[in-house]
């Protein structure tokens, strides 16, 4: 079999402290895989600068000038990690490769697991998903919210394995299929999981961040989770309809009972507190449901506008 050409995609946002070390370490992995005859000599790195405000891009240009196997793309502004990953996948497809691995710029994921990814690929997998061995490096808050997210997604029907990450290998075939999904807010973890290609799993260790700080905050994690839910499940919408039905039924029965008491026992129930509680509960539930529906409308709104996913600034081939 022909040795596969591997492309390693690295999204970078303000990673001036890490990026040079990361590139060197990844070349160590690539060189060792070439030496073992597992990948082709023309394997390369593809860095996506997600509109960094620090020195990241200057360092990337320098690395590109010393070694042409460092290819890169710069966004005109910050679009977020998912867009940077999508741009990386599209970029390596255009540049040419047999398979692509995406890994974080802080190398929190054990880069030597790439060898296992390649072995699975050689054995016929089109997608190899990295699963974290543990979440020791995550804060308690992130651990709990991540677990809640995966549980919710599973209840909602999108079977994403917990502790799944964006550290994965995808084949050329998977990249070609991705091109047929024009949705702007493509949720990669959901997409690669349900597309139906042969998938293998590789467990890897998580290390603490090499340098600098996490680029994710509460709001960006929340946005990622909401996009995952609204782009992969309509169960919440059905839940709203069912909930509305039962609340209406309850209201109807309560009303019926009140009228019945009045006519039969001539007894007007005095329930001031009950009225206030009920109107708050009903009002709150309605607003919550409206908000939920609003999230889906927002999703439709963004897709209908069909703005480009990202704008390229500079590309180094
Ligand atoms: N990242 C990005 N754009 C962003 C935020 C993050 O491209 O707006 C990149 C970042 O440079 C890193 C990866 O996404 O390569 C994961 O980010 P980070 O390590 O900060 O996240 P954490 O490991 O804390 O989840
Ligand atoms: Mg990290």
Please indicate whether residue 81, judged by its CB atom, sits closer than 6 Å to ligand 1. yes
Between the CA of 200 and the centroid of ligand 2 the distance, in Å, is 23
pLDDT tens per residue across span 200-259: 999 998 888 888 888 888 888 888 888 888 888 888 888 888 888 888 888 878 888 888
Q: Which atom in ligand 1 lies closest to the alpha carbon of residue 15? A: 11
- Give the Cα separation of 54 and 120 in Å (integer): 37
Q: Which atom in ligand 1 lies closest to the alpha carbon of residue 104? A: 15
- Give the Cα separation of 247 and 5 in Å (integer): 58
Ligand with smallest separation from the Cα of 19: 1
Please indicate whether residue 16, judged by its CB atom, sits closer than 6 Å to ligand 1. no
Please indicate whether residue 13, judged by its CB atom, sits closer than 6 Å to ligand 1. yes
Between the CA of 311 and the centroid of ligand 1 the distance, in Å, is 19
pLDDT tens per residue across span 66-94: 999 999 999 999 999 999 999 999 999 99
Please indicate whether residue 88, judged by its CB atom, sits closer than 6 Å to ligand 1. no
- Give the Cα separation of 17 and 54 in Å (integer): 10
Please indicate whether residue 301, judged by its CB atom, sits closer than 6 Å to ligand 1. no
- Phi first, then psi: what are they for 109, rounded to 5°? -85, 140
Predicted pLDDT at 269: 65
Selected from 3.90.550.10, 3.40.50.300, 3.40.50.150, 3.40.50.1000, the CATH number assigned to the domain covering 6-152+161-209+310-316 reads 3.90.550.10
pLDDT tens per residue across span 11-35: 999 999 999 999 999 999 999 999 9
- Give the Cα separation of 179 and 300 in Å (integer): 20
Q: Closest Cα to atom 8, ligand 1: which residue?
A: 80
Q: Closest Cα to atom 11, ligand 1: which residue?
A: 12
CA distances from 28 to 24, 31, 285 (A): 6, 5, 56
| Residue 9 Cα to chain centre, angstroms | 15
Residue 202, number of CB atoms within 10 A of its CB: 20
**DSSP 8-state code for residue 124:** T
- Give the Cα separation of 68 and 41 in Å (integer): 13
Span of 91-95, 117-121, 282-286 with lowest mean pLDDT: 282-286
Predicted pLDDT at 197: 93
């Amino acid at each position: 079999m022909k040795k596969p050409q591997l492309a390693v995609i690295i999204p970078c946002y303000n990673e001036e402290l890490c990026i040079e070390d990361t590139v060197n370490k990844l070349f160590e992995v690539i060189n060792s895989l070439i030496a073992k005859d597992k990948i082709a000599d023309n394997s390369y790195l593809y860095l996506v600068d997600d509109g960094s405000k620090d020195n990241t891009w200057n360092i990337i240009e320098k690395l590109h000038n010393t070694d042409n196997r460092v290819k890169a793309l710069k966004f005109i502004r910050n679009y977020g990690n998912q867009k940077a990953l999508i741009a990386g996948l599209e970029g390596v497809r255009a540049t040419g490769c047999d398979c692509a691995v995406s890994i974080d710029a802080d190398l929190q994921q054990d880069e030597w697991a790439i060898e296992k990814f390649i072995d699975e690929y050689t054995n016929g997998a089109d997608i190899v998903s990295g699963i974290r061995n543990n979440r020791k490096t995550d804060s308690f808050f992130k651990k709990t919210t991540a677990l809640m997210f995966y549980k919710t997604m599973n209840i909602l029907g999108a079977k994403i394995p917990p502790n799944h990450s964006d550290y994965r290998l995808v084949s050329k075939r998977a990249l070609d299929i991705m091109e047929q999904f024009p949705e702007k807010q493509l949720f990669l973890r959901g997409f690669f999981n349900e597309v139906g290609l042969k998938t293998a799993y590789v467990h890897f260790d998580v290390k603490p961040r090499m340098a600098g700080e996490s680029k994710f905050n509460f709001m960006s994690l929340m946005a990622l989770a909401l996009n995952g839910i609204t782009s992969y499940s309509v169960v919440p919408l059905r839940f709203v309809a069912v909930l509305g039905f039962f609340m209406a039924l309850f209201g109807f029965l309560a009303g019926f009972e009140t009228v019945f008491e009045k006519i039969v026992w001539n007894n007007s129930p005095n329930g001031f507190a009950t009225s206030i509680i009920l109107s708050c509960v009903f009002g709150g539930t309605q607003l919550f449901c409206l908000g939920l529906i609003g999230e889906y409308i927002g999703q439709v709104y963004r897709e209908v506008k069909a703005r480009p996913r990202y704008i390229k600034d500079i590309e180094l081939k």
